[in-house]
Amino acid sequence: MTAAAAASSGMLEAEEDRYDGVIIKSDSLPADPATFKAALDSSLQAWSAQGKRGIWLKVPITLAQLIPVAVEPQAGFVFHHAEKDYVMMTKWLPETESTLPPNASHQVGVGAIVVNSKQEMLVVQEANGPLRGQGFWKMPTGLVHEGEDLIEAVEREVLEETGVRAKFSSLIAVRQAHGFLFGKSDMFFCCGLTLEEGSDIGQQLKACEREIAAVQWMPVDQYTQQPYFQKLPAAYHTMMERCAAWAQGRYKGMAGRVFDGSASRPRKDLLLWGEVDDGPAAAAAAAAAAAASLNGDGNGAASSAAAGAGSGDAAAVVSANGALTA
How far apart are the C-alpha atoms of 53 and 55, rounded to whole Å? 7
**pLDDT number for residue 54:** 97
pLDDT of 301 > 70? The answer is no
Please say whether the beta carbons of 158 and 115 come within 8 A.
no
Three-state SS for 235-286 is: HHHHHHHHHHHHHCCCCCCEEEEEEECCCCCCCEEEEEECCCCCCHHHHHHH
Q: Which residues face 54 on adjacent strands?
A: 92
Sign of the torsion angle spanned by Cα atoms 67, 72, 76, 81 = positive
In the three-class reduction of DSSP (H, G, I as helix; E, B as strand; rest coil), residue 95 is classed as coil
Residue 252 has pLDDT above 70, yes or no: yes
pLDDT, tens only, 17-67: 999 999 999 999 999 999 999 999 999 999 999 999 999 999 999 999 999
Are the C-beta atoms of residues 127 and 256 closer than 8 Å to each other? no
Contact by Cβ (8 Å): 188, 175: yes
pLDDT in tens, 58-76: 999 999 999 999 999 999 9
- Does pLDDT of 306 surpass 80? no
DSSP 198: T
Over residues 164-174, the mean pLDDT reads 95
Instruction: Specify the higher pLDDT residue, 297 or 238.
Output: 238
Angle between helices 280-295 and 311-325 (to 10 degrees): 80
Element holding 107 (H helix, E strand): strand 106-114
CATH 3.90.79.10 fits 106-255, yes or no: yes
Q: What is the pLDDT of residue 47?
A: 97
Query: Quick one: how far is CA 294 from the chain centroid?
Result: 38
Residue 322, SS3 per DSSP: helix
Residues paired with 176 in a beta bridge? 187
Please provide the distance, in angstroms rounded to a whole number, between the alpha carbons at the two ends of the chain. 44
pLDDT tens digits, 262-278: 777 888 888 888 887 77
Determine the residue type at 130: P
Catalytic positions, please? 160
> Which pLDDT belongs to residue 288?
79
AA letter at 65: Q
> Rounded to two decimals, what is the model's pTM?
0.74
**String of DSSP letters for 156-171:** HHHHHHH---EEEEEE
> Is the pLDDT confidence value at 178 over 50?
yes
Give the per-residue pLDDT at 324: 29
pLDDT tens, residue by residue, 92-142: 999 999 999 999 899 999 999 999 988 899 999 999 888 888 889 999 999
Residue 298 in this model has a pLDDT that exceeds 50? no
Which residues are paired to 307 by β-bridges?
A: none
CATH class of 3-92: alpha beta
* Residue 203, helix vs strand vs coil: coil
Q: Give residue 176's Cα distance to chain centre.
A: 11
For residues 123 and 140, what is the distance between their CA atoms, to the nearest angstrom? 6
